[in-house]
Amino acid sequence: MRIRFEATSKEYVRRDGGTIQALDGIDLTVASGEFVAIIGPSGCGKSTLLLLAAGLLPASGGRIVFDGQRAGRPLTALVFQEFALFEWRTVLQNVRFGLEVRRVAAAERDRLAHEYVRLVGLDGFEARYPSELSGGMRQRVGIARALCVDPAVLLMDEPLSALDAQTRQLMQDEILGIWERTRKTVLYVTHNIQEAAYLADRIAVLSRRPGRVRAVLPVPFARPRREALFADAGFGRFTQDVWSMIRDEARTAMQEGA
């Protein structure tokens, strides 16, 4: 499903009655089945953009259009930075939670939950609890739970930031593999430029607050992608160019006291 942000803005009201403009006039189109990464300096509204897309926050201006949706709001699923699992539920019970909320028949939700547990490579861990899993495994449970409800758009908010460097690299490959098999429309927020360039079809670079789209950059590396890409000179030049954009925005924000 294609998603379009049309002059989308978000303003927060502070406790003292003042306002903070988080996003201002976001224009961005994500094609059906496309993987788009969103990066930018801290505080530029990246996570807010995902919350707007998920319907968890109302936009203050503009609109968000899901092409092909006849009525109502399409189903989205959000994978959080923290693992956000129910500690008292097993892997299988966590994965099928969204289906329970949607009142899917018991036999069907068990079938789907098993299917997505297999998809993320957790066969044999269905009866384990989150406390018995590594960080990478816990995040895979979160991804399986999100995919299990068959969302039109998958929203991922820095899903790997809590992991160590080795596990993060392995999980990047897991996410690539899952996306290649499912071809979901993905909006992926990250602070890691190399990660964005490794995973995405395009990178949307946001300005300092209030967040605006400074650039949308096609990622010029063929798929399928493998870990050797990180050592490619062209990959280094591309990520350095992206960093230069973000660095300029971040420096200006610091000078302005944002």
pLDDT of residue 68: 65
Q: Is the peptide bond before 58 cis (omega within 30 degrees of 0)?
A: no
pLDDT of residue 74: 65
pLDDT of residue 69: 61
pLDDT of residue 255: 66
pLDDT of residue 152: 86
pLDDT of residue 170: 86
pLDDT of residue 253: 65
- φ and ψ of 234, to 5 deg: -65, -35
Residue extents of the structural domains in the chain: 1-74+162-258, 80-151
d(CA 58, CA 11): 10
pLDDT of residue 72: 53
The torsion of the CA quartet 250, 36, 176, 133, rounded to 10 degrees, works out to 60
Q: What predicted TM-score, i.e. pTM, was given to this entire model?
A: 0.89
What's the CATH code, domain 1-74+162-258? 3.40.50.300
What Rg value do the Cα atoms of the chain yield, rounded?
19
DSSP state of 99: H
Residue 179: count of CB within 10 angstroms of its CB: 20
pLDDT of residue 92: 94
Q: What is the pLDDT along the chain (258 residues), one digit of tens a residue?
A: 899 999 999 999 888 888 999 999 999 999 999 999 999 988 889 999 999 999 899 999 999 998 866 545 567 888 887 767 899 999 999 999 988 888 889 999 999 999 999 888 899 999 999 999 988 889 889 888 988 888 889 999 998 887 888 888 888 998 898 899 889 999 999 999 999 999 999 999 999 889 999 999 999 999 999 999 999 999 999 999 999 989 877 777 666 665
Tokens coding 125: 């861990």
d(CA 20, CA 13): 6
